[in-house]
Structure 1
């Protein structure tokens, strides 16, 4: 049995001194597509931030892509993040450079040197998100949906073991949300593991999958009602 990509046992999640979530028991297996839902302020973002090392885990057990969150040191965080692909709501693209240069920046920052390999990787991830012809464009020349596709491509650069998507459709209209979701679904079908925080319940109905809910300082699995 392979080790889960993410496992939290009896974990408590804090934002500074305030307890956000307690007694968190979560397991995500390789290849799963998991939603994290809950109203604004129920702890979805704090949960995500704990996973990519923005908030320390101080209680309970937690391991993610072979890193122990309890003993995670500051210097290990960049290496942890290389094994994770993180997609944010607000894209976080560098506005002063084009799509390819945005991706190049990440590869260089994570130690890639071989120009041929770099070019090949950039083409490969842009192809996966249907943006292969837009590499020369600047973020301001792209729609919100296209920018989010580039952000997903960026998250795929280092072949992450787990993709954390924090409200990836939060700034997009319903039609564009569906398009971005199709991209994530396709990536998931290719074997990538995805944990996606969202409050877009229409997407859950359209693409049912394992769902965790944050509510009342707890995280629990909810069974989706099939209509």
Structure 2
């Protein structure tokens, strides 16, 4: 039996007092690649923020990587985020330090101590995204696609059980989007579970997979028709 990585039951998502999404029940299994689609403003980001603890879960029940979102407290959020890999649309790399030092910063912040092990881990994740030779560069010396690969490498540092990718190709041209998508596909084939919010329908057609849609305050699975 596949392990459940994410399970939500009767969940409502709020931004302050505004109800954004209502009555969500869904399940994501270990090893799945799942898209989250929907128009701008349909609640995709709010949904993602609820999953990584930026928005509190007020209604319904939710379990993600064996953590109860309903009973989770502020002090538990760093622990949750160590079990998740988060990839943002705008990369969120620290501009004042090299790629290696960006990754080192994350490892230190998440409790790593042994410098040799840290260096080995950094080399390993850069290799996975095809960026092994770029560690000495600064973010501004890299293209958008390269920066996003680094962001994916960063998300892999703590061997996450689930990667949340929020519009990871949103700032990239179509060719670069495909390259970044191939990296994510390879990571998924190696056994990682990925939930990717996107409005890039060309990618979904090219790499069809389970798809959830935010629409009309709901999140539901869409059955893809063969094109």
Fold-level similarity (TM above 0.5): yes
In the aligned structure 1, how far is the partner of 2:223 from the partner of 2:3?
24
> 1:34-93: CA deviations, max 9, x gaps?
000000000000000000000000000100001100011000000000000000000000
In the aligned structure 1, how far is the partner of 2:162 from the partner of 2:151?
15
Q: Tell me what 2:94 maps to.
A: 94
In the aligned structure 2, how far is the partner of 1:191 from the partner of 1:223?
23
The equivalences for 1:48-63 within 5 A come to: 48-63=48-63
> 1:96-125: CA deviations, max 9, x gaps?
001000000000011111111101100000
> 1:112-149: CA deviations, max 9, x gaps?
11111101100000000000000000000000000000
Cα deviation, residue 219, structure 1: 0.4
In the aligned structure 1, how far is the partner of 2:24 from the partner of 2:58?
13
In the aligned structure 1, how far is the partner of 2:184 from the partner of 2:212?
18
Q: State the aligned residue count.
A: 227
Identify unmatched segments of 5+ residues in structure 1. none
Q: Tell me what 1:43 maps to.
A: 43
Q: Tell me what 1:81 maps to.
A: 81
Cα deviation, residue 26, structure 1: 1.3
Hey, which bits of structure 1, 4+ residues long, moved more than 2 A? Answer: none
Q: Tell me what 1:220 maps to.
A: 220
Q: Secondary structure at 2:160's aligned position in 1?
A: coil
Cα deviation, residue 3, structure 1: 3.7
Q: Tell me what 1:114 maps to.
A: 114
In the aligned structure 1, how far is the partner of 2:17 from the partner of 2:77?
22
